[in-house]
A and B are shown apart, each in its own frame.
Chain A
C-alpha cells in the first residue's frame, strides 16, 4: 500500500499535526516505506485467530462507583498554558 500526497495530507489532518505542503511528498514516502514493512503481516495465516485484547489473561478489577478524589481545582489548572476563572481557556470554538 502506497500513500499518496493527498492521503498524507488527510492523515496529518486527522492527527491534528500541521504539515506544510512542501513537506507532504517526503512524509508520504516515509509513511509508505513503513507501511511496506508492515505488509509482511499478510503472509501470516490468521484464520480462526482471535485478535489479542489483553496480554495477560486477567479480568479487569472493579471498584465501587464512588468519588475517590477531587477538590483540587488549583492543582488541575496549575500547568495550563491559559487558565481563567477556574477554567481552561481556548480560542473561540462557537461563533
Chain B
C-alpha cells in the first residue's frame, strides 16, 4: 500500500486486520515520512528501533487474531509523557538527558493495545504556550502555508498537530491545560479532544497545572479520536484524581443522529472585534447542525470574560508548585558552580539556566499570587471565579442543552515570530475560547470545518456534558460529515 502513512486509524486498523497491510510496512512508511519531514520540526526524539520491535510484535498479534483497535498503529507521543529510557524533557533544557525509568499510564495502555511509538513530539516548554515557539528544540512548523512564511502549528501540542496534519504518523497524543490540544488541532486542520477532567490518568505526564491538565488524542478524524480516546482512558490507582467510571465504546456512539438535540451558542463568545471569517464559520457550523435536525438555542455563560484572568492566576500558581521539583538534585540539568557556591546558588543558577523565559515568568507569577498577603486577593478570588464559570455551564446544561458550539480559536494560524514582540498577554488571548472548559473540567473537541480566504484551516469547538464524550463526539461526527473537510496541506517540506 503506497502512502500508508496517510491513513486514518480506522482505515489502517481495517487494512491490518484484513492482512492488506502489515504493521511493519505501515511503521516503515511513517518512519520514512518522519525522516523526510525534519523541516516540520515535529519529531524531536525518533525511536525507530522501538517502533519496529513493536510493529513486529503487533504483526504477530494480528496473525493470531488478538488485535485490539490500536494494534500496529504508529503514533507520535508528546514530549510531556514519560517514556521508559526514551528522552522525555517537556521541551525544556532543565530535563536534558532525563531518561525516565518508568512508563506513563497513557503510553502503557497504548502499548498494551498494540500501538507503536515512532518518537517524541515537539511542544511548548512544560506545555506553557500557544505557538510551540517556547521549545528548547526550536519551533515545530505548521504543514499549512499560504506564502513563503512559516506558520505556527499552535501550542502547546504543536509537534503533535504538525506531525498528524503532515502525515508523519497516524495519530498522536496531546495534553491540554488551557487549549493545548484544541488550538493546535484547529491551526493544523485536524481533530483533537480534551476529555472530561479525570477521564485519562495523568500519571507519568510531566505536570504543569494539575487541576487543569488532561491528555487526549489528536487525530485525522472524529472516528479516530473515539477509537484512541477509549484506549487512553480509564481509572488508574496511581492518579488519585482519575475517575472510577466505566469507559464506554466511544466509536459505537457515532450514530450520526443528532435529531432533537439542543445546541447552545453562547452569546458571550461573540467577542467585540471577532473576525468576520470566524463568525462566518461559526454560523455555518450552527447551520450544519440545524440541518442535521438539532435545535439551535442561545445560551448565556456570563463569566466567560473572566476565564482567562482566572486561568492566569490558577495555572501559574500550580505550576510554581509543580516545577519546584526541578532543583538540580534528582534529575536533569545542574548548573556548574563557582567556588564558594552553596545549595541556594545551585538552585538559583540551575533554574535560571534550565528554564526558558515564559516558564520563568509563570513560575514567578505563581510565586507572587501565592505569597503571603496576596493569596486571598489573587488565588482565592480566582478559585471563586472558577466556581462561577463552572456554574455557568451547569446552568446551561440543566436548561436542556446537549452541546455548546463555539469557535476553536480567534484567528487562523499566525506566522512564526509574529507574536514575538507582543506582550505575553496577547499570546494568552489565543486560548480565550478553550480555557473555560479546563476551568470547568468539561470535555471539548476541535473539528476542522473549513478554510479561510487564504486557504488556512479553521476549526470549531463543541463542548459536552461531563463524562459524555461519546455524545460529544457524535455531534462532532455530524459536524465533520456535514463540513466534508478533506483539504490537505501541500507538501513543501
With contacts A34-B424, A90-B343 taken as known, whether A17 is within 8 angstroms of B364 at the C-beta atoms is yes
Query: A46, B352: Cβ atoms under 8 Å?
Result: no
Contact residue among B352, B382, B439 (Cβ-Cβ distance under 8 Å from A41): B382
Chain A residue contacts of B120, Cβ below 8 A: none
Q: State how many angstroms separate the Cβ of B235 from the closest Cβ of chain A.
A: 9
Bound Cα distance from A55 to B378, whole angstroms: 18
- Interface membership of B419, Cβ < 8 A: no
Bound Cα distance from A92 to B343, whole angstroms: 7
Q: State how many angstroms separate the Cβ of A3 from the closest Cβ of chain B.
A: 7
Chain B residue contacts of A66, Cβ below 8 A: none
- Interface membership of A71, Cβ < 8 A: no
- Interface membership of A67, Cβ < 8 A: no
Chain A residue contacts of B196, Cβ below 8 A: 56
Query: A56, B309: Cβ atoms under 8 Å?
Result: no
Q: What is the number of residues of chain B that contact chain A, defined by CB distance less than 8 Å?
A: 73
Q: State how many angstroms separate the Cβ of B424 from the closest Cβ of chain A.
A: 6
Bound Cα distance from A35 to B386, whole angstroms: 17
Residue of A nearest to B346 (CB): A91
- Interface membership of B137, Cβ < 8 A: no
Bound Cα distance from A49 to B381, whole angstroms: 9
- Interface membership of B464, Cβ < 8 A: no
- Interface membership of B329, Cβ < 8 A: yes
Q: State how many angstroms separate the Cβ of B255 from the closest Cβ of chain A.
A: 27
Query: A56, B198: Cβ atoms under 8 Å?
Result: yes
User: Per-position contact with B for A51-63: 1 when CB-CB < 8 Å, else 0?
Assistant: 1111110101101
Q: State how many angstroms separate the Cβ of A41 from the closest Cβ of chain B.
A: 5
Chain A residue contacts of B330, Cβ below 8 A: 79-80, 88
Chain A residue contacts of B428, Cβ below 8 A: 37
Query: B243, A58: Cβ atoms under 8 Å?
Result: yes
Q: Enumerate chain A interface residues (CB-CB to B < 8 A).
A: 3, 7-8, 11-19, 27, 30-31, 33-35, 37-44, 46, 49-56, 58, 60-61, 63, 72, 75-76, 78-82, 88, 90-93
Q: Can you list 23 A-B contacts with CB-CB less than 8 angstroms, sorted by A residue number? A: A3-B368, A8-B364, A15-B360, A15-B367, A16-B324, A16-B327, A17-B363, A27-B364, A30-B424, A31-B364, A33-B423, A34-B425, A41-B306, A41-B385, A42-B381, A44-B385, A44-B388, A46-B384, A54-B241, A56-B198, A79-B332, A88-B330, A91-B342
Query: B383, A31: Cβ atoms under 8 Å?
Result: no
Chain B residue contacts of A12, Cβ below 8 A: 364
Query: Which residues of B24-75 are within 8 A (CB) of A?
Result: none
Q: State how many angstroms separate the Cβ of B129 from the closest Cβ of chain A.
A: 14
Q: State how many angstroms separate the Cβ of A67 from the closest Cβ of chain B.
A: 15
Chain B residue contacts of A79, Cβ below 8 A: 97-99, 101, 330-332
Query: A11, B371: Cβ atoms under 8 Å?
Result: yes
Bound Cα distance from A47 to B343, whole angstroms: 44
Contact residue among B243, B303, B378, B384 (Cβ-Cβ distance under 8 Å from A52): B384
Chain B residue contacts of A46, Cβ below 8 A: 381, 384-385, 388
With contacts A11-B371, A31-B364, A50-B384 taken as known, whether A61 is within 8 angstroms of B332 at the C-beta atoms is no
Query: B334, A34: Cβ atoms under 8 Å?
Result: no
Chain B residue contacts of A80, Cβ below 8 A: 329-331
Query: A15, B363: Cβ atoms under 8 Å?
Result: yes
With contacts A37-B425, A38-B378, A81-B333 taken as known, whether A61 is within 8 angstroms of B368 at the C-beta atoms is no
Q: State how many angstroms separate the Cβ of B114 from the closest Cβ of chain A.
A: 26
Contact residue among B243, B309, B364 (Cβ-Cβ distance under 8 Å from A11): B364
Query: B364, A41: Cβ atoms under 8 Å?
Result: no
Query: B348, A17: Cβ atoms under 8 Å?
Result: yes
Bound Cα distance from A51 to B98, whole angstroms: 37
Bound Cα distance from A54 to B197, whole angstroms: 10
Residue of A nearest to B362 (CB): A34
Q: State how many angstroms separate the Cβ of A1 from the closest Cβ of chain B.
A: 8
Query: B368, A31: Cβ atoms under 8 Å?
Result: yes
- Interface membership of B452, Cβ < 8 A: no
Q: State how many angstroms separate the Cβ of B397 from the closest Cβ of chain A.
A: 14
Chain A residue contacts of B465, Cβ below 8 A: none
- Interface membership of B11, Cβ < 8 A: no
Query: B99, A63: Cβ atoms under 8 Å?
Result: no
Chain A residue contacts of B433, Cβ below 8 A: none
Interface-central residue, A40, A41, A49, A50, by most chain B CB under 10 Å: A41
Chain A residue contacts of B395, Cβ below 8 A: none
- Interface membership of B290, Cβ < 8 A: no
- Interface membership of B328, Cβ < 8 A: yes
Query: Which residues of B327-366 are within 8 A (CB) of A?
Result: 327-334, 337, 341-349, 351-352, 355, 360-361, 363-365
Chain A residue contacts of B365, Cβ below 8 A: 31, 34-35
Residue of B nearest to A15 (CB): B367
- Interface membership of B279, Cβ < 8 A: no
Query: A52, B390: Cβ atoms under 8 Å?
Result: yes
Chain A residue contacts of B387, Cβ below 8 A: 49-52
Query: A16, B347: Cβ atoms under 8 Å?
Result: yes
Query: A78, B99: Cβ atoms under 8 Å?
Result: yes
With contacts A33-B425, A81-B333, A81-B334 taken as known, whether A51 is within 8 angstroms of B384 at the C-beta atoms is yes
Residue of B nearest to A72 (CB): B101
- Interface membership of B441, Cβ < 8 A: yes
- Interface membership of B430, Cβ < 8 A: no
Contact residue among B212, B305, B310, B361 (Cβ-Cβ distance under 8 Å from A34): B361
Bound Cα distance from A75 to B423, whole angstroms: 43
